[in-house]
Structure 1
């Protein structure tokens, strides 16, 4: 997955890039309107994080041009402007989401995954892999068409793994996803270990054809058996 970050604030651009690289996304950046315009129309991206207020132009103009050209990139506007008019205009021009600064990086990561998931699922609210099916609307897990009971955290964690199947998921990324802005309340990763243990047991007992593999010293990976 390739993501373009269009942001003129150096510190924020680097922080976003570093956070998304930990999720194994390929990152490209642009700090001004002209550079962003050139990259957007020369290359294809899975998602564009677009600041509205750029030093040499308005990000909404880039969004309008994307729509005019019929390009299908997912776009999340990231802006310090928090007016209803700006949000409505951005969404009318085809933006998939609108995030107001300042924001927590975990929230941005979750928004990116959400728009990529919607694109990947083509509007469907079901994630399937091998003999496992996760119904996102009803929050139900099915293995071989038999329901397997999960608590809320187990469901969220398995959903995260299914959206990142066969990719390294670090403990920090998983903790951020589960706890979000309240991650600082977690003294350690014991709660992650406990949830992973429960999910593994339920997948094994239901004869699921996938499992959560430990990548020692780094985190976990959801793999096929």
Structure 2
């Protein structure tokens, strides 16, 4: 999977590139409007991380070019501009998601994987594995076609695990993704333990063909039974 990072802040660009390379993505970068436009004209990318404020032009103009070429559906806008107008314009132009700086790298990684998974699912906003389905649009979880009630955090935890199936997920990465900035206020990770404990019970009770394994001292891993 090839990802293009269009970002002029060198430190952020490097952090994003290093993190995504660890996830086995092929990374290319561009730090101004002209170089980004050239790469977008020549190559196809599975996901594009796009800053709005770029030397030489606007990321929204690049997004317009991508829309004309039918390639705007795999774009995540990353920008310090927390403007509702910019956000709406970007989404109207076909961007898949929008993150306002500063953000946690773990959250961005998860959103990149979500974009790629939806692309592989031909636009269907659902994740299916074994006998379960997680509908991201309706926020419903089903086992063998039957709805299983999850609270908001349980749904987000399961979503993150499914996006990282068969991968070791650290408690810190999970906390940053699901709880975001509030994780800095936590004294420990007991709240993660209780959410996963309840989620495990629901998976087992519903007869789900997946389970969450604990990796002592490190984190968890979601696998098929």
Counterpart-to-counterpart distance in 2, 1:155 and 1:91 = 24
Partner of 1:143: 143
Residues 69/157 of structure 1: CA separation in 2 closer, same or farther (3 Å cut): same
Pairwise CA distance, 1:215: 4.3
Partner of 1:198: 198
When the two structures are superposed, what TM-score results if normalisation uses the length of structure 2?
Answer: 0.79
Counterpart-to-counterpart distance in 2, 1:193 and 1:124 = 31
Counterpart-to-counterpart distance in 1, 2:5 and 2:211 = 33
For structure 1, which runs of at least 5 residues remain unmatched after alignment? none
Counterpart-to-counterpart distance in 2, 1:216 and 1:59 = 44
For structure 2, which runs of at least 5 residues remain unmatched after alignment? none
Partner of 1:134: 134
SS in 1 for 2:191: helix
Pairwise CA distance, 1:45: 2.0
Conserved 8 A contact 2:213-2:220: yes
RMSD: 3.1
Pairwise CA distance, 1:50: 1.1
Aligned residue runs from structure 1 range 163-202, under 5 A: 163-202=163-202
When the two structures are superposed, what TM-score results if normalisation uses the length of structure 1?
Answer: 0.79
Pairwise CA distance, 1:200: 2.6
Pairwise CA distance, 1:131: 0.9
Counterpart-to-counterpart distance in 1, 2:202 and 2:95 = 39
Pairwise CA distance, 1:149: 3.9
Counterpart-to-counterpart distance in 2, 1:23 and 1:190 = 27
Question: When the two structures are aligned, how many residues end up with a matched partner?
Answer: 225
